Amino acid sequence: MPYLTAGGAKDDNYLNISVVGPGTVSQAQFVIDNWPVYPAGDATVVGPYCEAFWGEPAATRTFTITGATADTQIKFLGGDYNLSGVGVGKNRIFLDDIKVEIIP
């Protein structure tokens, strides 16, 4: 999920995927566009709303690493290392429930 304040300010929303060690990733970047729509009114409903948001299909991304071994590490990066002059200069992406599956 990309970062969005309750007031509507958005960060950039790019999630870069790479590997350290053996393997090739099938998709090197995702545009994370499942922006939350905060409910109006009482701020106490935001917590339960945001928790349920993770279960929606739009919150799921899938990629494959071909040629991975026990030495392969997956690297997730929101945007670029040096965000100076890139988009709004912020790129916070929230990740949850990362599943790694070995496909023979």
pLDDT in tens, 65-96: 999 999 999 999 988 777 666 667 788 888 88
Flag whether 61 is in a domain: yes
Flag whether 94 is in a domain: yes
Flag whether 90 is in a domain: yes
Domain extent, residue 52, equals: 1-98
pLDDT in tens, 28-53: 999 998 887 777 766 666 667 777 77
Taking the model in full, what pTM does it have? 0.80
Total domains, the chain: 1
Flag whether 103 is in a domain: no
Flag whether 104 is in a domain: no
Q: How far apart are alpha carbons 48 and 65 in whole angstroms?
A: 34
Flag whether 21 is in a domain: yes
